[in-house]
Chain A
Amino acid sequence: MPEANIAADKQELPVSTLVSFLDSMLQRENLAPEVVNPLAAVREYFAKEQPVDGPFLSVLLRTQGHKPEAFGDALLCLAAQTDQDFEVIVIDHDSSPEGAAEVARIVASQPKSFGSRVRVIEVSGGTRSRPLNAGIAAATGRFVAVYDDDDLLFGDWVEKFHEFADLGGNKLLRSQVAIQRARPEVWRDNAPGLRTLSWPSAEYPKTFDQVAHLQVNQSPFMSFAFPRVLFHGLGVKFDESLTVCEDWDVILDGSRLLGVEDIPAITAIYRRWEGGPSSYTDHSQAEWLASEQRVVDRNNATPILLPMGAVKQLRELRAAHDVWEVYERLVQSRSWRWTHPMRMAIHAAVELRVRVRSALARFRR
């Protein structure tokens, strides 16, 4: 477990990284009086949850109307949640007329107690970020989670988020997600279906590592619930210039500012598609690299907050880097290269001794 999470566990109640930072500032002696009050006011703002009229959770369900069977699965997983304190905002993004009609039909077919909490908004154009920003604008919940239309939820996805949100702290909540391989399949009557190909496996890191996430995203989108204050207090938005990696961008932004509370339970399944359209086939390698670079550049161009424990982690990484550099210098040195024949001769002698001993042992038997 990263140090940051160990440190957070020692606290009685979760506190966001931002509030923790402000607390450390306010504890300084001789802080100028003109600074204390504004800092305390900001601390107060971010320590408390913003009051909302809506439910606990707003679920943003993105769809392009390509996979009606998977979309039906996604809605059934929501209808079956043990905690029903949520709304669903289906964001139909650039569906064909047939796809949009199918999405509308499936939503309209839901039972009343669930269907009355599902809204459909249609969004045209833009990247994958645009429907998310539209969803954020429409969301009325205390927390927001994003769930794509081809993934699955266990029955306690909302319940676990709710349980940990009620501990307070306004942090991002991160549960565990399993990975399951699937591929499109044609069913009877030529119906477009799907076939699961593997048992769900727990491959993602069990705890959130802020420093590791700067290198690469290690958390699928639906593993997170984001507190409302992230969007409506800190002004975080999805970057509409990104064609992909929009999830990583906001996860980085949110986790740096508010920190992450880990939930020790698998609550969802990420379907890894083999064949058929997915974000990996809809976007070129160049797009992925460009988006990744933009996220890195944006984070590199701003000062960042890191959670408690990150200094020790960075020192260890730096020490490991230094050892690697020493090794690199050694193997590239002239003396190392000149002694190569000698090392090879020693290696061959050792190998020969092992073989002779082995042969003798066989002979003795």
Chain B
Amino acid sequence: MTRSLVVQSILYGNEADGIVRAAEATAHAASMARTADLVGEWSLAIGDCSEVPVLSEANLKVIGGYVERAGGVFVHEVFGENLGHGGGHNRLAKSTSSELLLILNPDALLGPDTISALVNTVVDGVALSDGRQLPLEHPKDYDPVTGDESWASGACSMTLRSVFDEVGGFDHDTFFMYCDDVDYSWRVKLAGYRVAYQPGARVFHDKRLTVDGDIIPSAAEVYFSAEAAVLLAHKYSRSDISDRILDSFRGNPDETYQKVVRVFEERRSSGKLPVQIDSKHRVGQFINGNYARHRY
């Protein structure tokens, strides 16, 4: 069965060489999927949220060449404003049409058969499937045979466009940078579809460790992940958890956490908190500060 595909990536101040290299890998993987009659028409859509566009004319020409040789269409949009991860993807999705959407980090490198593996997974009630990230695989648990899991990572996940439209895409009003993928996964499940991991779909996501084996998040990552933790718990009707997190943040003198509390209270007073869903806790998983059972 041949299906049409759009691969979407959002830029924000990235390094151009990495984007070009990733585009070559994406075009190659799409070409392999076309050869296997899994993908027909396809396009690579890159949206740029940066103040200064990341890609030069020369970069665009090289990427366009990769896509064209792989039988695809290259779409490049400069938004002129920072729409965030989910907002950028929603905007791009409106400007294209296809049966499948691949949400991809712009510098993530796909393996040659990754698109094929994901296309083969988005069947039989599976509306969303993510690949295995290298060199640091995400520790969320999954069923090795069915692939069923709590949520699919937005670093590399394929979804049915019909379902993307049905649930309203990413909730970018609530989640600017983090947890929009968790939220999207859970709404896909609430709509009656499956979310499945496809470990055979490998994708290189360039993360690094410190010399002691730790990851040091940036200040923005710390803030937005803390903000998202409170909002996600609230949205999935776990006010007990959001209240507990807010209490711990109130007791933390760090301005990052104080700001999270202020912003949450401002949202509350202005009626801008997300509408609470999943009141019977069918899909939301809050386990030891994670959104899935972790293997380690």
Contact = CB atoms under 8 A, between A and B. Distances in A.
A155 B144 contact: no
A111 interface: yes
Contacts of A154: 135, 206-209
B109 A79 contact: yes
Interface in A70-91: 72-73, 76-77, 79-80, 82
19 contacts: A72-B111, A73-B134, A73-B202, A76-B109, A77-B134, A79-B109, A80-B204, A112-B28, A154-B135, A154-B209, A186-B144, A187-B200, A188-B144, A188-B145, A196-B296, A202-B211, A202-B213, A206-B211, A266-B210
Nearest to A113: B24
A76 B112 CA distance: 9
A196 B112 contact: no
B113 A109 contact: yes
B213 A77 contact: no
A9 to B, nearest CB: 16
Q: Which of B206, B211, B296 has the most CB atoms of chain A within a 10 A radius of its CB?
A: B211
Contacts of A201: 213
**In terms of DSSP, what is the predominant structure of the interface of chain B?**
loop
B25 interface: yes
Nearest to B110: A76
Interface residues of B, number: 33
Contacts of A176: 211
Secondary structure type dominating chain A contacts: mixed
B213 A266 contact: yes
Contacts of A206: 211
Residue in B135, B147, B200, B204 whose Cβ sees the most chain A Cβ within 10 Å: B135
A198 interface: yes
Nearest to B215: A199
Interface in B89-123: 109, 111-113
Contacts of B208: 154-156, 265-266
Contacts of A82: 18, 206
Contact of B211 (A111, A197, A264): A264
A73 B135 CA distance: 8
Contact of B200 (A110, A153, A191): A191
Which of A156, A200, A206 is the most central at the interface, judged by chain B CB atoms within 10 Å of its CB?
A: A200
A200 B199 contact: no
